[in-house]
Amino acid sequence: MATTKVRRVRVGTRLSVELRARLTKYCAASGISERTIIEDALRKYLDATDDTALLMRRFDRVDRALARDHLNLEVLSEAFGRYMRLWFLTHAPNTAEAGKAAARGAAETQYRQFAQHLGEHFKQGHRFIDDLPVDALSEDDGK
């Protein structure tokens, strides 16, 4: 069975002296023809299959994942804040019906103090992970 010969077309272009010297040196060292190198480079450029395109797609995926994690963290923070507000409200002294309004006010005051204290603590650089025992954070746990 005869194989068909790939038809080729001559293309002429000018390269900088420095780039031509690098191409010649690379071809001599690798044993690959200039035509093969140029065809591969053009194919990668036109098909967008070089490493840059791949990296950009991966960066886009990472960026979307970070945005999703940021949204999840904001939702969890809001839920925790609402939980704490409800906790202060339900643990306020509950006397008579007239005292419920005062208890709600006291619970709101306690929540605001809690939020203020948390903000100041956070601003000073303290993180919850700093309170955990060091051995709980070790990655060498024998698994």
The helix (run of H) or strand (run of E) holding residue 80 is: helix 51-90
Task: Please state, in angstroms and rounded to a whole number, the distance separating the CA atoms of residues 29 and 99.
Answer: 90
pLDDT digits (tens, 9 = 90+) for 86-127: 888 787 766 566 677 787 888 888 888 888 888 887 788 877
Inter-residue contact 37 to 23 (CB < 8 Å) = yes
Query: 29-88, pLDDT tens digit by residue?
Result: 999 999 999 998 888 888 876 677 778 889 999 999 999 999 889 888 888 888 888 888
Tell me the residue type at 122. F
Domain residue ranges in the chain: 17-49, 73-127
Distance CA(18)–CA(12), nearest Å, equals 18
Q: What is the pTM of this model?
A: 0.46
